Structure 1
Amino acid sequence: MVKFRKYISGITVLASGLFLAQSTVSTVLYSPTYDSQKSIANLPSPVAAVEKTILSPKELIDVNLNTMVTDPVLKNANWGFVVYDPKTKKIISSYNENASLVPASTTKLLTTETALNLLGENYRWMTQLEYSGQVDENGVLNGNLYIVGSGDPSLGTNKAGALSYREIIADFVSGLSREGIKKVNGDIIIQTALFKGNISRLPENVVWLENNNYYLPVGTTREISPANEKLIVKKSNFSTDKKFFYVSPYANQMVYAEKYEGNENLTTKLPDAPAYLANTFRTTLVKSGIAITGKVTPKMTDASPESRKLVSAYKSPTLTDIVYYTNQHSDNSLAEALLRTVGFFRKGDQTSESGRIVVKDHLKDIAFDAEGLNYMDGSGLSRSNTVTPIAQVKYLTSLMNQKYYQTYFTSLPIGGQSGTLKRMFNITGNGQIFAKTGTLNKVKTLAGYIKTNSGRTLVFSLLVNNYSGSVDMVKKRMEKILEPTLEL
């Protein structure tokens, strides 16, 4: 980064000559009340006006970067920034662009793009109702019903336009009516080889609960009754900084967050989707007058499968819809499911480890700059994830030539308008910043694209770790750093 003291000094002299009443250079010196003060007349700073007159947009970016280096919120932080021109393939301005930093949820940029690349924009997950055996003249099925899943991460959630359990079940019941089935002498068998393993331990370095968000494991929770899924919250008796500790209901292991603002108990609503669907389906059949003699039972593998007939098939929303929802809402469970899906697609199993291998192989194939990269999960919850700002911008630049780029670009939140960026860039940059956000405790990140006032498309990455103050303070600095880029 270039030092711009000569510009700052020149501005100070000029400002002093033109505005004798102003005794400090407001853009360089920091006051503790800086974030709460507002101009009485709501007028721009005279020095800021002089800066914009004297300096080019690029010079203003560099002046801002120099200012932020000594800013109380960022001076002891680890952070990096790059704004990049995808046409010239050159860095416009940067700070610590090669620093290996925790990316938080900007990790989802890698996960969702890999899914689009390998699976295709129109990929859908199928959940099918089938039956074995024969239906007699009285409408009695002497055989089993099968719910055959494929790991649909949106099943029953209403996310991305997915149908509710009730709507899917209504279609299943209608299918049985079309087949003339009035009674079932058999079981409802859940058959899916995807996402079948319970998680018995917390994943390494994953933030289980933070800022009042309860992050559930991906996979089945079949052995846990949803009614009993309670989070035990205890205030620490041995910590002077008043941190709160949480005990996972899934494992005898403790994690902590900086603060807790909820009620004493938090509940979850994510049972094992196929099991929940099957049990609710059975209850609905009984209530609607279709008797069933058997029970709901899982069968992950079947050495001698019965001959079966398809009754009904539910298709998930397209991958385009899933990726849009994932990036707009920064949905962790969907991101982790995408990781497992690409793992199954290429490696034949549903483990997160296979997913990580597939993503890293894909990144290698497209010449991703892996220096400083550590890809540990699909969502960015792990603090072991790391990436460099320069790698992110070169990666995002390379995607602009992909056939699915528009789908990918559209999935990103828009500054001041949508998703997790709705409350940032409400004035300057509104509708011009298209980026994935990331937030963990003392981690705030942004990476994406900028549409400048002159019509250029630029690519940027801004990763901040271990800052001081509040997340809102960091957001303001981020907006300040990116503001001059709009004039490029």
Structure 2
Amino acid sequence: MKRVAHYFLLISLFVGCSGAKRSIQKSTQKVFKSAFYDNQFTGFLVVNQQNRDTLLNFNGEKYFTPASNTKIFTLFTVLKLLPDSIPALKYIERKDTLYVEGTGDPTLLHSYFEHNNTLDFLKGYDNISVHLNNFQDEKFGPGWAWEDYQYYFQPEKGPLPLYGNVTTLWSLSPLQVTPSYFQDSVVQMNFSRNRELQKNTFYYGPSRKDTLEVPFKTDSALTKKLLGRVLGKDVKIAMKMPEGEKRIKYSVPVDSVYKRMMIESDNFLAEQLLLLCSSTLSDTLSSSRVREYMLEKELADLKQQPRWVDGSGLSRYNLFTPESMVHVLSKMYRDIPRNRLLSFFPAGGVAGTLEDWYPGDPEPYLFAKTGSVGNNHNISGYLITKSGETLIFSFMNNHFMRPSSEIKIQMQRIFEEIRDNY
């Protein structure tokens, strides 16, 4: 009798799930056929992680501009290639000189990462020579908007970034500037730009009260000066590293960097993390080499190979399918402990880019990465239903002319129906 009862329980659960699935599919298809979606391109794929059942698939195999959903691929890459702590420097000691080579570590003197021990290590040497010629990327990624050079979200990339490669200005008496090296480079006047295009002249209006972060223009000479000032000693530039085996100095735990990249959607960290991964493959810093490696080795099973050109998603050249996003999210879900994995993603109604959207009932049910660039908004991640199922999804909206808030309202309605009924 127990076997019979168990059998009928399974049958009833199956029928219930099938009925809920059909109901959700029917209502969602009706929404996508409405006039709201007439003049945009939409893709939506939802998969049950436990039984690999596809709940919804609408243009899942089509290519979309992903914006910051690209960071999901970057997260997958760093989880595969980086150790538990950030490799801060490669170095060799020769006689009385420490030769240092940058790895792309974004945390040195970064305002968010306060417990960096790299400076203490460098202060232990009187003679330091820095090698920066291992950087083989461009300072800006392909397809980045050139006019965004002055905005906080598009700092230059580099082998040994300092202060996050941004100048921070805030209004006190007198005006506060970090790094202080640029104190005399700030013009206190209202101007249409935050910085000159080709030089480090910054503008901060006299009536401003906010904190302004402006990327500075980088080069080897500036790196030498900034690092020398903070160390209190002259730093030399080395044209090449001495022969011999390089040792590695580690800095902060990687999870603290990953969380900020994903939750705050930090473009600079995403780009530098790919360079860091490159430093684990060779001494050359090349993000394209890392992307090629991942697509050939770890992601050769993707059904639709993406066009993947940067780590952050700033470029409109990137092209990914919802199916590829779900594929990578599924790989991470299988490989990474659940609590750790979900901690990397903004939680709906709680933190980061999802703080004002998708609130829980009462606990968060959505853990996902957004991606927004003009007329495009996407979100991909994990949805926890009220029945306890974990669904993996990618919802991509491209080329709409409505306010993005209207797109999010429609998405929230669909997510809540799935949460409540599946």
2:135 aligned with 1:195: yes
Give the structure 1 partner of residue 408 of structure 2. Answer: 475
Give the structure 2 partner of residue 99 of structure 1. Answer: 62
Instruction: Confirm or deny: 8 A CA contact 2:130 2:235 kept in the other structure.
Output: yes
Residue 418 of structure 1: how far off its partner (Å): 1.5
Residue 84 of structure 1: how far off its partner (Å): 0.9
Give the structure 2 partner of residue 90 of structure 1. Answer: 53
| Residue among 435, 457, 460 paired with 2:393 | 460
Q: What is the TM-score normalised by the length of structure 1?
A: 0.65
- Deviation per residue, 1:39-91 (Å, 9 max, x gap): xxxxxxxxxxxxxxxx846514531442243243x321001111111222221
Give the structure 1 partner of residue 88 of structure 2. Answer: 126
| Residue among 299, 324, 349 paired with 1:391 | 324
Residue 220 of structure 1: how far off its partner (Å): 5.8
The residue identity in structure 2 corresponding to 1:369 is: K
| Residue among 264, 267, 273 paired with 1:332 | 267
- Deviation per residue, 1:81-111 (Å, 9 max, x gap): 1111122222112322222111111111111
Evaluate the alpha carbon distance shift between residue 207 and residue 162 of structure 1 in structure 2; reply closer, same or farther with a 3 A threshold.
farther
Residue 370 of structure 1: how far off its partner (Å): 2.3
Once residues 241 and 327 of structure 2 are traced to their aligned partners in structure 1, the CA distance between those partners, rounded to angstroms, is: 46
Give the structure 1 partner of residue 281 of structure 2. Answer: 346
**3-state DSSP of counterpart to 2:402:** coil
Evaluate the alpha carbon distance shift between residue 64 and residue 270 of structure 1 in structure 2; reply closer, same or farther with a 3 A threshold.
same
Evaluate the alpha carbon distance shift between residue 398 and residue 64 of structure 1 in structure 2; reply closer, same or farther with a 3 A threshold.
same
Instruction: Confirm or deny: 8 A CA contact 2:102 2:160 kept in the other structure.
Output: no
Once residues 397 and 323 of structure 1 are traced to their aligned partners in structure 2, the CA distance between those partners, rounded to angstroms, is: 18
**3-state DSSP of counterpart to 1:219:** coil
Instruction: Confirm or deny: 8 A CA contact 2:368 2:382 kept in the other structure.
Output: yes
Give the structure 2 partner of residue 33 of structure 1. Answer: none
Instruction: Confirm or deny: 8 A CA contact 1:390 1:461 kept in the other structure.
Output: yes
Give the structure 2 partner of residue 69 of structure 1. Answer: 33
2:58 aligned with 1:110: no
Instruction: Confirm or deny: 8 A CA contact 2:119 2:231 kept in the other structure.
Output: no
The residue identity in structure 1 corresponding to 2:197 is: P
- Deviation per residue, 1:210-235 (Å, 9 max, x gap): 9965412211699x9964599xx998
Instruction: Confirm or deny: 8 A CA contact 2:69 2:380 kept in the other structure.
Output: yes
How many residues were matched structurally? 375
Once residues 221 and 146 of structure 1 are traced to their aligned partners in structure 2, the CA distance between those partners, rounded to angstroms, is: 13
| Residue among 282, 295, 309 paired with 1:360 | 295
**3-state DSSP of counterpart to 1:93:** strand
Say which is worse superposed, 268-277 or 415-424, in terms of deviation.
268-277
Q: What is the TM-score normalised by the length of structure 2?
A: 0.74
Evaluate the alpha carbon distance shift between residue 404 and residue 377 of structure 1 in structure 2; reply closer, same or farther with a 3 A threshold.
farther
| Residue among 373, 382, 401 paired with 2:315 | 382
- Deviation per residue, 1:417-449 (Å, 9 max, x gap): 112111111255851101111010111011111
Evaluate the alpha carbon distance shift between residue 403 and residue 381 of structure 1 in structure 2; reply closer, same or farther with a 3 A threshold.
same
Query: Structure 2: which 5+ runs fail to align?
Result: 1-18, 168-181, 200-207
Give the structure 2 partner of residue 296 of structure 1. Answer: 235
Give the structure 1 partner of residue 7 of structure 2. Answer: none
**3-state DSSP of counterpart to 2:60:** coil
Give the structure 1 partner of residue 197 of structure 2. Answer: 249
**3-state DSSP of counterpart to 1:475:** helix
Query: Structure 1: which 5+ runs fail to align?
Result: 1-54, 134-142, 177-183, 236-244, 252-261, 287-291
Say which is worse superposed, 270-279 or 83-92, in terms of deviation.
270-279
The residue identity in structure 1 corresponding to 2:268 is: S
Give the structure 2 partner of residue 241 of structure 1. Answer: none
Once residues 429 and 101 of structure 1 are traced to their aligned partners in structure 2, the CA distance between those partners, rounded to angstroms, is: 33
Once residues 476 and 225 of structure 1 are traced to their aligned partners in structure 2, the CA distance between those partners, rounded to angstroms, is: 35
Evaluate the alpha carbon distance shift between residue 59 and residue 149 of structure 1 in structure 2; reply closer, same or farther with a 3 A threshold.
same
Say which is worse superposed, 438-447 or 350-359, in terms of deviation.
350-359
Q: Within 5 A, what are the aligned runs for 1:268-279?
A: 268-269=214-215, 279=225
| Residue among 68, 86, 110 paired with 1:157 | 110
Residue 191 of structure 1: how far off its partner (Å): 3.0
The residue identity in structure 2 corresponding to 1:453 is: K
**3-state DSSP of counterpart to 1:216:** coil
Once residues 383 and 408 of structure 2 are traced to their aligned partners in structure 1, the CA distance between those partners, rounded to angstroms, is: 16
Residue 172 of structure 1: how far off its partner (Å): 4.6
Instruction: Confirm or deny: 8 A CA contact 1:343 1:351 kept in the other structure.
Output: yes
Once residues 52 and 81 of structure 2 are traced to their aligned partners in structure 1, the CA distance between those partners, rounded to angstroms, is: 26
Evaluate the alpha carbon distance shift between residue 212 and residue 444 of structure 1 in structure 2; reply closer, same or farther with a 3 A threshold.
farther
Give the structure 2 partner of residue 216 of structure 1. Answer: 155
**3-state DSSP of counterpart to 1:206:** coil
Evaluate the alpha carbon distance shift between residue 195 and residue 409 of structure 1 in structure 2; reply closer, same or farther with a 3 A threshold.
farther
| Residue among 408, 420, 434 paired with 2:367 | 434
The residue identity in structure 2 corresponding to 1:268 is: V
